[in-house]
Amino acid sequence: MHILHLEDDALDADLVHREVARHEAGATWTTVDSADAFFDAMKQTRFDAILSDNRVPGIDGLQALQVAREQRPGMPFVFVSGNTDPHWAEHCLIAGATDYVPKTQLWRMPSALQRIRSTRESERLVWLTRARAVLVDAVKQLSLARSVDAIVEIVRHAARQINQADGATFVLRDGDHCHYVDEDAISPLWKGLKFPLDTCISGWAMLNRQHAVVPDIYLDPRIPHDAYRPTFVKSLVMVPIRGEAPIGAIGNYWATAHEATPDEVELIQALADSTSLAFENVALVQGLESRVQHRTAELEEANRELEAFSFSVSHDLRAPLRAMQGYSDLLAELTPPLEGEAATFVQHIRHSARRMNTLIDDMLALSKLKRAEVRKRPVSIGVMARDILASLSDTSPARKVRTAVDETLVAEADAALLRMALDNLLSNAWKYTSKRDDAFIEFFAEPQADGRLAYCVRDNGAGFDMAYAQRLFEPFRRMHTEADFPGTGVGLAIVQRVIRKHGGELWAQAAKNRGATFRFTLPADA
C-alpha cells in the first residue's frame, strides 16, 4: 500500500510506520507536516489510503478529510490522533472518516489497514467486472465493424467508459504526424489536429511501442506543456494500437491527479489490441469486397459477351444455315429428280443442316440456363411426365411403348425449367428404347435414406457402361454413336443445370444393353 501520512510530529510518525511495518512490510509512505505539503502531495501522487493527525500547521484533520473527499472521492481516510475522547472519534466517523485509531492504541493500525485493503479490493473487483463487461461489448461491436469510422465511434466511447476517465482520444498515425481523429471528453481536446510524432505523447507511445503512464503532465518531459494548458488534463495514460509498427494510439485523461493502475493500463491496452484486429478485418473485408466487385464486373462483361455470342449464333449462323437448307430442299425437288451420288449428296447436306440447326438450338438453350431465374411453385410433375410421353407417342405412332407414370406426384419447382429437364430425360428414354420390341418407360418417386424424395425416369433401353458415368453430363459427350442413336450430347447437360439451379442432385444408374435409371431431387427449401 502507498499511504499519505499527515503528521507534524516525527516521532509519532515513526511509531505509526513501525507498527504498520510489523504486519505490512510492503507499505510505502509519503509523510507531510503542513497544509502546503499536503496539497502538493494530493496533486502529484496516487495513494491507497490517507492517515491524518487531528491538526498540522495550516489545516486540521476534518479540513483534510473534506479536501480528500473532493479531490479523491472514495479515498480511505483514517484519523490517527492523540485525542482519546470517544465522542470526538464518533464525530470524525460521522464526518466521513473510514476509521479512528488513538495513538495510544497503535496496535489497532494493522487491522484498520487490513479492512481498508479488503474494502478497496472489493471495490476493485466490482470496478474490474464492470470494466471488463464494457470491454467485451466493445470487442463484439468491433468484430462487426466494417469501416474505420465505425471503429473510431466504438473505441472513443469504450475507452472512456472502461477506465471511467474524464476523457479519451483516438489517434491514428499519418506519416510522421499524429492525427487526433476523435475524442470523448468533458471538454474539447485536440480533435482534428495533427502534431509531429516526436512532439506528443501519442507519438512517443507509437515510436517506442509501449504504453505511457503520466501522473502529472507538468512533471513529465515527454509532454508538450503548452498544448495541454488550455485543457482540463492533469494525468493520462497512452497505449499504442498494435505492438509491431503501431498505426495509432488510444489515450485516457483525468482532470485530477491520477496514476493509472496496472489494471487500467491492461484494459485500455486490450481495447487497443482489439482495435488493431478490427482494422485488419476491415482491410480484409474491403479487399474482398474490391475483388468481388472486380469479379462481378468481369462476370457482367462475360455475360454481355455471352449474350452477344448467343445473338450471333441465333442470327448470324442461322442465316447461312437457312440458305443451305433452302437450296438443298430445292435440289431435292428438282424435275427431273437427281439420281445416284448427286441425290445422296443432297440428302447428306439436308441431314447435316437439320443436325446443325438442332445443335444451335441446344447450345442456345444451354447458355440461357445460366441466366434463368428459378421461380418455384407446386408443379404436377406426374401429369407433366404423362403429357410429354403422350407427345412422344404422337410423333412416333408406329412404336408400341409401355409406360407407367405416377400422375399424383407434385414437386416444388420452376415449371418451365422442370419441363425442359423432364422432356430431355423422357426423350432420351424414348430414343434409347427404340431398338427394343418390348420397350418400357416409367416415371415414379422413391424416398432416399436421408429423407429426400427422388424422382426417377427408368427405361429398359440401350443403357451405358457405368465406367464412363462421370462424363455423362458433360456437354457434347455421347455414349453412343450418331449412327446408332442420333443426338447432340447436350440434353443431359441441360438436365443437370436445371436440377442444380433448383438446389437438387442428379445421378444415373445403368448397365450396357440393360437400360438406365436417372434420379433427381428437388428440395423445397432451396
**166-180 as b/e, with b when 16 or more CB fall inside 10 Å?**
bbbbbbbbeeebbbb
Q: What is the pLDDT of residue 526?
A: 42
Q: What is the pLDDT of residue 247?
A: 92
Q: What average pLDDT does range 284-310 have in this prediction? A: 69
Q: What is the pLDDT of residue 335?
A: 83
Tens-place pLDDT, residues 380-437: 999 999 999 999 898 888 888 999 999 999 999 988 889 988 988 998 899 889 888 8
Q: Which grid coordinates belong to 279?
A: 482494422
Give yes or no for residue 295 having a pLDDT over 90.
no
Measured distance CA(174)–CA(185) in Å, rounded: 23
Q: What is the pLDDT of residue 489?
A: 66
Q: What are phi and psi of 459, to 5 degrees?
A: -140, 170
Measured distance CA(331)–CA(238) in Å, rounded: 94
102 preceded by a cis bond (ω within 30 of 0): no
Q: What is the pLDDT of residue 350?
A: 83
Q: Which grid coordinates belong to 449?
A: 435414406
Measured distance CA(357)–CA(354) in Å, rounded: 5
Cα angle 75, 54, 96 (rounded to 5 degrees) comes to 35
Tens-place pLDDT, residues 134-150: 999 999 999 888 888 89
Give yes or no for residue 366 having a pLDDT over 80.
no
Side-chain-facing half-sphere of 91: CA atoms under 13 Å: 10
User: Which one-letter DSSP state was computed for residue 272?
Assistant: H
Tens-place pLDDT, residues 408-420: 999 999 888 899 8
Q: What average pLDDT does range 61-84 have in this prediction? A: 86
Average pLDDT along the chain: 85
